[in-house]
Structure formats: structure tokens, C-alpha cells
Structure 1
């Protein structure tokens, strides 16, 4: 287990952010890896975070076990499997910074467009995108989740135009990422990222991870639906900006 106090100074807030994200405030979790990467390598940070994400998924699924949309899962998961396999196959060749830049730009564009339309009263009626769109965004989500634990924005781009009830939106995301993160386990094993040190460190952070997730669920259920979606849009812009910054500075510095 890692014993460096400096590591936990970064890991504790990172785990809390992921817990709030898993509870429903999607997007906050993307700030965790950059925070932990300040004190350990990005690869090690990702390996430590995956078991934490998996235990938090279980908590969220239990909290929203009666509110989820099976149709969305049926359209997204086949693509997600393909995206994870693609991410594993290209792990040594794909630039994380290029992925961050693209996902950041997509997130910002989508969220700002939705907020402008909503403010102007021109937001289109809820729509359910087709199967091909589900396969595409599922693939993008699986790929970005595999290479950078950044599967949230593509999932939101597909699901948010449907304007699902708040609990159904969060519950569907919980089931989706529970499946995605379990599917990622064999590729992570193949890449040799589950060491005894990393797993024991993850285990030490489990109690905080569970408490933070329950806190996120408690907060989400007390935010009005309209305010909830507005908060998610704002978070998506902020996280997108962070991803663009990381992508640009990383590519320039190569």
C-alpha cells in the first residue's frame, strides 16, 4: 500500500469527487485522475481508481436499482464492448492527450448548445436517438473509458437529449458504467496494472469511496430536476475545458 501522505492529500479529494459523480453529478469524476496524477503516474492512478469506481458503481446501482432504462443499455453496451477492446488493442499507440482534446471539445459544444437552446426556450422536445447513434456513442464511451476513465461525456451526449427523469438518467448511467468497468478488468490485467500495492491502496480508500457515493445520491435527490440538468451542463462545460487544456498542453509538450 502507498504510505506517502502527499498521495492521500490528492487521493482523498479525488475519491470524494468520484463519489459525488457516481451519486449523480456526472462529470466531477473526470477531475480525479488529473488530481492524482500530480503525485503518481497517470497509469498507476488509473489502476488504483478502477476498483474504487467498481465499488462505487455497486452503491449507485443499489440506490437506483428501480429506476433505469433498459433500451438505452441495449443500444449502448454492444458499442461499449467494442470500444473497450479497441482501447486495449491501441493502448500503446493512442495519445491520451488527443483523446482528451476531442472529448473536451465535444463536451463543451454539446453542453453550451443545450444551455443556449434551453435559455431561449428553443430546446427541442425529448428525443430517443436511434440504434446506430447508440452503438457509436457507446463505442466512444467504452474507448475513452478504457484509455482515460473518461466515458461519461459520450454517454451524456447520447442520453441527455432524451430528458429522462433524473433518477432514470442516473440509474441508467450507473448500470452502464457498472458493466463497462467490469469489462475493463481483463484488459487491465493483461496490461499488468493490478499490482499488490495498487490494489491494497484501492482497498484502503473503499470506506471513503462508499460514503462519498451515498453523499452524492443524497444530494442529487434534493436538487430539482431542472436544476439538476443545468448543473450537469455546467459541469460538462467545466470538465470539457479541463480536458481541452490537458489535451492541448500535453500535445504541445510532446
Structure 2
């Protein structure tokens, strides 16, 4: 078990709670979990620890939202995501922890800016949401950032927002997407040595916090409308991106 202070364990528990919350109701909350784990643990070690908790959260998300997915929106993403995951693996093998966090933060801010600009344009001038160019751009960035720092959530959140998904379709599509991507990342993460036996022990202690966060998210989702959902998700994504960049 990692030798951490009580304060550090408490911070990780809060991060795990945000993982559950992000999977059940507020995808942008995932960036706060990324920031917390990257603060308490070395950046690469935090990536491995967080990945296992995210997979736990993916299972909960599928139980809640599995029937609401829009499958056709995922097809253009598959090749690009695979390319991004491979590129992220190469980057992790050579990059330092500091550069890892800063690069992810910079990418997230750029993606947020592009997405908000697209959403301000009239709907009739939007390019087809599921088009190949858009899917390739977001998919490759999503694959890269999810491999490097489990930060694909914010990138794909901006993709689904740009596609103007209703809230439940947003969450259902995201649930299937990240369940598949996170499981696909496991062999790469184990091969790079960022998932180790002590990682499993630490995450076993934090799983109850993920469950609590998912329950809180489910309760919150029943009381939230589309506009509030989009605003909160965007704000949380910006906060996490800025933290990683600084």
C-alpha cells in the first residue's frame, strides 16, 4: 500500500467520488479527479491508479445509462481513437510528469474554445455533427489524452456537446465509449508499468467513494435540466484544464 498521509488519502477519496459523479451525471467532474490524483501522486502513477477507478465507474454508468446510447455517433471515432491511444503510449514512454500535465491542460483549453465557438454558430451552419473530419479530430485527441492522463473525458465531452446531444443520450453514448476505450487501455498501461500491484490495493480502498459519487450523481440527474447540465459540464471542464495547465 502506498505510504500516504491522511490528508492525501482524503484527497484521493474526494477524487474517487468525483469519478463516480462524472460517470453518473456530470462528465466534466472527471477533470477535477484528474487534477486531484495528479497533485497527490506522480502524474504517470496517477494515470494508472485513476484508470482502474474509471473502469469501475464505467460499469456503474452502463448500468444506469446503457439504453440511451446513440451508436451511429461512435463509429467515426473508432480508428482515430486507436491512433490517439498508440500515440499517447509513445508519449508516455518519453515525456516527464510536468510536461504530461501541461500538454493535457493546453489541449483541453483549445478543445473547449473550439467547441464553445461552434455552439455559438446557428444550428443551420453547423457541419454534420458525426462527420468524418470532426470525428477524426476529436477522436484522435480523445485517444491521446485518455492514454496520457485519463483526460479523454473532457475532450469527448466537448465532442458530444458540439453534437447537441440530449442529456440522457449524451451520458449513454459516453458510457459505452469510455467503457470500451478504458478497457482497451489496460494492456498499454500494464506494459508501461503505470499499473502495479500497489495500484490495485490503493484503488480497492477508494472504490466505495466511487460508488457514493455515482449514487449522488444519479440523485442529482433527476433534478437537472438540459441547460444546467451543459453549463455545469463546461465549467467543470474549464476548471480542471486550467489546473492541469498551471
TM-score, normalisation: structure 1 = 0.86
* Separation in 2, partners of 1:13, 1:216: 14
Per-residue CA deviations over 1:102-133 (Å, capped at 9, x if unaligned) read: 32321441355367x3xxxx642575230232
Output the CA distance in 1 between the equivalents of 2:73 and 2:155.
Answer: 13
Partner Cα separation in structure 2 for residue 156 and residue 213 of structure 1: 18
In 1, Cα distance between equivalents of 2:102 and 2:166: 34
Matched, 1:99 2:103: yes
Superposition deviation, residue 171 in structure 1: 0.8
Which residue of 1 is the match for residue 234 of structure 2?
Answer: 233
- In structure 1, how many angstroms separate the alpha carbons of the residues matched to 2:34 and 2:231? 24
The residue that corresponds to 1:210 in the other structure is: 211
Query: Secondary structure, in 3 states, of the residue corresponding to 2:67?
Result: coil
Structure showing the higher helix proportion among its residues: 2
Specify whether residues 153 and 208 from structure 1 end up closer, same or farther in structure 2 by C-alpha distance, changes over 3 A only: closer
1:53, distance to aligned residue in structure 2 (A): 0.5
Displacement of 1:147 after TM fit? 0.5
State the shift of 1:10 in Å: 1.2
Structure 1 residue runs without a partner (length 5+): 246-254
Q: How does 1:96-135 map to 2 (within 5 A)?
A: 96-110=100-114, 112-113=116-117, 117=120, 123-125=122-124, 127-135=128-136
- Paired with 2:238 and 2:144, the residues of 1 have a C-alpha distance of 21
Q: Alpha carbons of 1:128 and 1:58: their partners in 2 closer, same or farther (altered >3 Å)?
A: same
TM-score, length-normalised on structure 2?
0.88
Worse-superposed segment, 143-152 or 155-164: 155-164
2-structure distance, mates of 1:160, 1:66: 19
Q: How many residues align?
A: 240
Evaluate the alpha carbon distance shift between residue 237 and residue 194 of structure 1 in structure 2; reply closer, same or farther with a 3 A threshold.
Answer: closer
TM-fit CA distance, 1:242: 2.4
CA distance in 1, matches of 2:35, 2:50: 12
Q: Which runs of 4+ in 1 moved over 6 A?
A: none
Quote the Cα distance in structure 1 between the aligned partners of 2:105 and 2:240: 11
Task: Give 1:53's aligned residue.
Answer: 54
When residues 110 and 23 of structure 1 are mapped into structure 2, their CA distance, relative to the original with a 3 A threshold, is farther
